[in-house]
Amino acid sequence: MKKIDFENHYYDISSVETLKARTECPYWTKDTNTIYWNPKVGMCQDKFEFELLDFAEKRIKIMDKLEIEKAIISLAPGIDYLPPEESIPACKAANDALYKITQQFPGRFLGSAILPIHDVEASIAELERCVKELGFVMWQTHSNYGPGIEPDDKKFWPVWRKVAELGIFAYLHPVTSHQPKFNDYGYAMASPGLGFTIDTMGAIIRILLSGMFDEIPDLKIVLGHFGEALPFLMERMDNRMAMLPIPEQKNKEKPSYYFGKNIYVTTSGNAYAPAYECCKAAIGIDSILLGTDYPFETMESCIEFIDSLPMTVEEREKLYFRNAEKLGVSL
């Protein structure tokens, strides 16, 4: 059965060089080959660097073996929230490099724009270029844009509006939390072990409560990891967030209303059958997409896990490729 992968990461060498030239977080140390997202949270790149930089030698062979017909490729390093004088040229170079990959392997890789988010006008211009000239299908953004800087801030709304106007979608990918309660225990807790999930949960719920989906009803946002634990909390959110509303809470509907309408989820990095069952029960199979999270997870283990789940052929087709059509992506 052919498949479309919504979360498949890469490194562009120009982005690597940008981070290696920095001395403040985020930066990439040359001696230990480690990216530091903040002074207490670093991730050694030895395990993933080759796979992130490679396309032809390894990645596409795995895709062929697993019948992954197309993969949406997104940039792994966080160059988007660097200062504009650094992020504008870095994002343009990364997008141009990815475009070359999409042309080198036509039909196999789809582009995801990375934007210099702290310059809103530059971000809108770059997004338009990526979609209209480069044919990209997605904007990969992150769960925070620096300490205390949230994606729902009104100053960023023009970028979200442009996403809907262009008929593409955004992937809200986790980035390291800036909360000391996570960072004191290093990368594992601050990032994939817990911090990623909580930071992204907070970001999407802030977006929802801000009324963004009501003002931009065609906006589509995708979350990884079976919805970052939110399906488990759906009833509690609906119930408690209606208990003592305040004027800043602009959403017109319950949180659950927006899942499947504005919010979709992928399978990335959560090979746990109870998580799938909860997600399916809470938001429905029609809202779940394939995401392998390669190379931070293996494509093989992801597909093996999904194939082990009890599904009808129709449900499996929806997850693997049919639901993608709702976001403008097709085989």
User: Can you give 146-209 as a three-state secondary structure string?
Assistant: CCCCCCCCHHHHHHHHHHHHHCCEEEEECCCCCCHHHHCCHHHHHHHHCHHHHHHHHHHHHHHH
Identity of residue 155: K
Q: What share of the chain is helix, strand, coil (3-state, %, to 5)?
A: 50, 15, 35
Catalytic residue among 5, 12, 152, 293: 293
Partners of 171 in the beta sheet?
A: 140, 222
Residues 227 and 230: their CA atoms lie apart, in Å, by 6
Nearest to 175 by CA among 274, 98, 74: 74
What count of other Cβ atoms lies within 10 Å of the Cβ of residue 55? 17
Instruction: State yes or no: is 293 an active-site residue.
Output: yes
User: Residue 294 in contact with residue 51, Cβ under 8 Å?
Assistant: yes
Residues 94 and 113: their CA atoms lie apart, in Å, by 9
Residues 286 and 37: their CA atoms lie apart, in Å, by 35
User: Residue 287 in contact with residue 315, Cβ under 8 Å?
Assistant: no
Tokens of 260: 């499947």
The dihedral over CA atoms of 233, 239, 243, 246, expressed in degrees to the nearest 10, equals 60
CA 161 to chain centroid, in Å, comes to 18
Active site residues: 293
